[in-house]
Amino acid sequence: MEIRENVPLAELTTMRLGGAARYVVSVRTPEEIPEALKFAQERGLATWMMGGGANTIGRDSGFNGVVVLNEIRGIEILREDEESLELRSMGGEVWDDLVEFACERGASGIEAMSMIPGTVGAAPVQNIGAYGQDVAAVIVSAEAYDTREEEFIKLAKEEMRLGYRTTRFNTGEDAGRFWIYAVTLRLKKTQLEPPFYNSLQRYIDEHGVTDFSPMNVRKMVSEIRSEKLPDPKEKASAGSFFKNVMVDPAGADAAEAKGIPVWRDAEGRGKINSGWLIEACGLKGKELFGFRVSEKAALVLINEKAKTYAELAQARKTIVDAVKAKFGFVLEQEPVEIGKEENENS
């Protein structure tokens, strides 16, 4: 294991905020996970597992514990035929690399999730999704180290409680318990059919696209995201900062009656784009306490010059209050905060 001391969280997270982590340990094999835990236990320190830091916010006080970086890599084909492809990817793989790997083999199920930042191991934690696809639809199992029972286990999809950005891995008493080091996905050798999620459908209509193969959908989504979303390597951000608003069928009807665009599933439940709500409040492109509400995608907060978590909290409150006042919806932050309980209890 590689062990470093006093590493700023601002260097590990794409929002580039946060004080120092006491230790940072990089693990490159599953066997090193319990070693990292033992390292922390011997020093009486808390632990936090992290991938690429794209969905994690650091606080000014840092983290008086051990950040474990998942750098376990590798992708293997478990089974492939004319109809399907089953893949096992290690958790430290870059998510977008796995999407490209699948699309190159004509497999559908994750192509609309192209260019979502982060690692494969983090994908089921948030049940990431985009343009109508999500991990819940394709995941078979996750291999993890159970930090409570101190053993390696395999969790079936049914055991993960996968909902919209909520799962067994990030809510309740099991939040942070399972350190995912490998994920198995089952994809189909088919292609998506219209109508698509709103912004993707607009692109298709504008460009007269008729090729909906996995690789071409990937190319379209990548072009849309590149135009709207900043590259975290170039501009500090955490991607989509707020979760979209989920409403039941009645709530979807009420929103549409007010002129709010709603994307519905087969049961009539609705998803409202939080970026649309923020833009409708006149905040798109606005500078708030060192952060910029992206001019291309209002769901994204860009850290232009902020140095403290307090500035982020002020910017967040301004946006949440504006949306609540105008529409009655309370936006929820999507990125998690490292050491949040530690900070709140101190």
pLDDT, tens only, 236-292:
999 889 999 999 999 999 999 999 999 888 889 999 999 999 999 999 999 999 999
Residue 149 in tokens: 């029972």
260 shares its domain with 331: yes
Listed in sequence order, the residues at least 6 apart from 127 whose beta carbon sits closer than 8 Å to its beta carbon are 134, 135, 136, 162, 163, 164, 165, 166, 167
Does residue 11 have a pLDDT over 80? yes
Claim to verify: residue 182 and residue 264 sit in the same structural domain = no
Kindly state whether residues 168 and 266 are assigned to the same domain.
no
The span from the CA of 14 to the CA of 336, in Å, is: 12
Question: Residue 147 sits in a domain of what CATH number?
Answer: 3.30.465.10
Render the burial of 222-253: b for 16+ CB within 10 Å, e for the rest.
bebbeebbbebeebbbbbbbbbbbbbeeebbe
- What is the mean pLDDT of the segment spanning 338-344? 60
Residues 182 and 89 in one domain: yes
State whether 236 and 331 are in the same domain. yes
CB 83 within 8 A of CB 105: no
Q: Classify residue 196: in a domain, yes or no.
A: no
- Give the end of a domain, one of 43, 70, 97: 70
Instruction: Please indicate, yes or no, whether residues 286 and 331 belong to a single structural domain of this protein.
Output: yes
Q: 88 exposed, middle or buried (CB, 10 Å; 0-12, 13-18, 19+)? A: middle
CA distances from residue 75 to 91, 132, 156, 183, 189 in whole angstroms, order as listed = 10, 25, 19, 10, 18
Q: What is the CATH number of the domain that holds 51?
A: 3.30.43.10
Active site residue 240: yes
Of 154, 188, 222, the domain-final residue: 188
CA distance 253 to 269: 9
Catalytic residue among 165, 168, 225, 316: 165
Alpha-carbon dihedral angle through residues 339, 91, 104, 113, given to the nearest 10 degrees = -30
pLDDT confidence bin for 343, thresholds 50/70/90: very low
Residues 127 and 141 in one domain: yes
DSSP label of 262: -
332 within a domain of the structure (yes/no): yes
Question: How far is residue 194's CA from residue 310's CA, in Å, rounded to a whole number?
Answer: 44
Distance in angstroms (rounded) separating the CA atoms of residues 234 and 263: 31
| Confidence band for 346, pLDDT divided at 50, 70 and 90 | very low
Contact 34, 77 (CB under 8 A): no
Examine residue 58 and state whether it is found in any structural domain, yes or no.
Answer: yes
pLDDT score recorded for residue 132: 87
Place of tokens 């219209």: 194
Is 267 a member of any domain?
yes
Is 226 designated active site? no
- DSSP string for 289-318: TTEEE-SS-TTEEEESS--SHHHHHHHHHH
Lowest mean per-residue pLDDT among 6-10, 11-15, 61-65, 162-166: 162-166
* Residue after which a domain boundary falls, among 49, 70, 91: 70
Are 118 and 100 found together in one domain? yes
pLDDT (tens digit per residue) in 189-209: 999 988 888 889 999 999 999
Q: Is residue 344 predicted with pLDDT exceeding 80?
A: no
Q: What is the model's pLDDT at position 345?
A: 38
Task: Indicate the pLDDT class of residue 165, thresholds 50, 70 and 90.
Answer: confident
Which residue, 90, 63, 69, is CA-closest to 25? Answer: 69
Residues 65, 86 within the same domain: no
**Domain assignment of residue 221, yes or no:** no
- What is the distance between the alpha carbons of residues 76 and 120, in angstroms, rounded to a whole number? 13
Residues spanned by the domain of 263: 230-337
pLDDT, residue 305, reads 96
pLDDT at 231: 83
Flag whether 39 is in a domain. yes
Whether residue 132 is found in the same domain as residue 36: no
CB 162 within 8 A of CB 127: yes
Residues 80 and 58 in one domain: no
Residue 134 in this model has a pLDDT that exceeds 60: yes
Residue carrying the six token digits 């120092």: 20
Which of 26-40, 158-172, 329-343 has the weakest average pLDDT? 329-343
Residue of 114, 141, 237, 240 marked catalytic: 240
Q: For the chain, what percent of residues have pLDDT higher than 70?
A: 98
Say what the pLDDT of residue 72 is: 97
The residues, any chain, with a CB within 8 Å of residue 225's CB and separated by 6 or more, are 114, 115
Output the pTM of the full model: 0.87
With respect to residue 151, please indicate whether it lies within any of the assigned structural domains: yes
- The catalytic position among 100, 311, 334, 337 is 334
Examine residue 225 and state whether it is found in any structural domain, yes or no. Answer: no
294 noted as active-site residue = no
Counted domains in the chain? 3
Q: What is the pLDDT of residue 228?
A: 83
The pLDDT tens digits for 46-97 are 999 998 898 899 999 999 999 999 999 999 999 999 999 999 999 999 999 9
CATH of the domain at 310: 3.90.78.10
- Band of pLDDT at residue 340, cut at 50, 70 and 90: low
Domain shared by 276 and 331, yes or no = yes
